[in-house]
Amino acid sequence: MNFPTVLESINDLNVEQVKYLLNTADGLKYNPRKYTFYETRRPVVATCFLEHSTRTRNSFVLAAEKLGAIYLNFDPDTSSLKKGENIEETFYTLKSQGVDLCIIRTPIPGELRPLKENPPFKIINGGDGMHQHPTQALLDLFTMIETGFNPHGKTMAIIGDCEHSRVSHSLIDLITMMGGNIILCGPSGCLPKSTLNPNVELCYDVEYAINNSDLLYLLRIQKERHKRFGATNYFCDYPWTHGVTMERLKKLSKNIPVYHPGPINLGVEIGQCIINNPTNKHELGYMGYEQVRHSLWMRMAIIMAMLERQI
Ligand code: CP
């Protein structure tokens, strides 16, 4: 099976490729001795993060190191980008230095798309503005399956700033590709005006979303993106209108897990009591730490597939 040279979006993958990644990640989790890691010809894996990150960058660094790759941290703040060199020249310089694969995060949606024409090296999108975050969706799906939830025929509520979240866009593409249904829920300004996807429903009412779903996936309000569009309303009443608390879930008798990709705004979209109740099963509790834990195996699987199985 082949994989694309540039993984920009979930739509660069098909169901078979997703299943291959899930199987590989599962093998890496339970049976790592089955795999031959890089010992002699060690590939060079770089990260280039033009926007902040705690989870994505660190888990890619750990994944590359655990596979035995040579890891190169390209730090934009101390690089010649600060002297006016452009990003394309930077990428061709990294290629000349021997980079095989680079994980790139950028604030500009779609910035990686032109690189598909003549990629300097293999590229994984680590998040591009409001557009896509494909590896987050893949690790979320992996976490769901590993903790006893297959989204096929089930419904997941994504609650929060669905319109401005790259995580939401990738997750919708992946979950509906795998046969699941999505309810997008949030206040006005956080939802798309309409959807063409028959497996996606839009709603403002958080209790309707919770009552009609098998899993909750919370998102923070992307204040930085609203600010860019000149919005002055910072959703002061969000914790009461759409925040998810243990109290709210218990009142609705919903024993379902709560996922969150991070970063979290505690007391806004998610209550402290939920964080205080982590779980690793499909039951009432917080799944965020399991998502982070499973990110390592999924990102190892993605790096291996990208390096070894090329179109
Ligand atoms: N989920 C996620 O992308 O987190 P970071 O911004 O910390 O990488």
For 148-286, CATH number? 3.40.50.1370
Q: What confidence tens digit (pLDDT) does each residue in 1-21 have?
A: 899 999 999 999 999 999 999
Q: Supply the pLDDT for residue 215.
A: 98
Q: Is 282 helix (H, G, I), strand (E, B) or coil?
A: coil
**6-132+294-306 shares its CATH topology with 148-286:** yes
Residue 47 Cβ < 6 Å to ligand 1: no
Q: Is-contact 122 5, C-beta < 8 A?
A: yes
Ligand 1 atom nearest residue 51's Cα: 6
Residue 51 Cβ < 6 Å to ligand 1: no
Q: What confidence tens digit (pLDDT) does each residue in 148-180 have?
A: 999 999 999 999 999 999 999 999 999 999 999
Q: Supply the pLDDT for residue 94.
A: 98
Mutate-to-test residue for ligand 1 from 52, 56, 167, highest number of ligand atoms within 8 A of CB: 56
- Provide the mean pLDDT of the chain: 94
CA distance 244 to 138: 24
Q: What confidence tens digit (pLDDT) does each residue in 95-127 have?
A: 999 999 999 999 999 999 999 999 999 999 999
The amino acid sitting at 130 is M
Residue 56 Cβ < 6 Å to ligand 1: yes
For 6-132+294-306, CATH number? 3.40.50.1370
Q: What confidence tens digit (pLDDT) does each residue in 176-221 have?
A: 999 999 999 999 889 999 999 999 999 999 999 999 999 999 999 8
Residues in Cβ contact with 200 at an 8 Å cutoff, skipping those fewer than 6 apart: 172, 176, 181, 182, 183, 184
User: pLDDT band for position 37 (50/70/90)?
Assistant: confident
User: pLDDT band for position 234 (50/70/90)?
Assistant: low
- 2-6, 229-233, 306-310: the lowest-pLDDT one: 229-233
CA distance 111 to 38: 31
Q: What confidence tens digit (pLDDT) does each residue in 46-64 have?
A: 999 999 999 999 999 999 9
Average pLDDT estimate for 244-268:
96
Q: Supply the pLDDT for residue 36.
A: 77
Q: Is-contact 103 124, C-beta < 8 A?
A: yes
Q: Is 310 helix (H, G, I), strand (E, B) or coil?
A: strand
CA distance 56 to 126: 7
Q: Is-contact 126 47, C-beta < 8 A?
A: yes
The amino acid sitting at 102 is C
Tell me 262's DSSP state.
Answer: S
Please identify which residue in the block is written with the tokens 């997941």: 156
> Which value, to the nearest 10 degrees, does the dihedral of the CA atoms of residues 131, 136, 140, 142 take?
120
Bridge-partner residues for 218, per DSSP?
159
Distance 55 CA to ligand 1 centre (A): 5
The C-alpha angle with vertex 68 and arms to 66 and 69, in degrees rounded to 5, equals 110
Distance from CA of residue 24 to its chain's centroid? 18
156: tokens are 């997941």
Q: Is the torsion defined by CA of 40, 124, 96, 53 positive or negative?
A: negative
CA distance 71 to 103: 11
What are the helix (H) ranges across the chain?
15-30, 55-67, 87-96, 134-146, 166-177, 206-211, 223-228, 238-241, 246-251, 272-275, 288-308
Domain locations in the chain?
A: 6-132+294-306, 148-286
Mutate-to-test residue for ligand 1 from 53, 170, 171, highest number of ligand atoms within 8 A of CB: 53
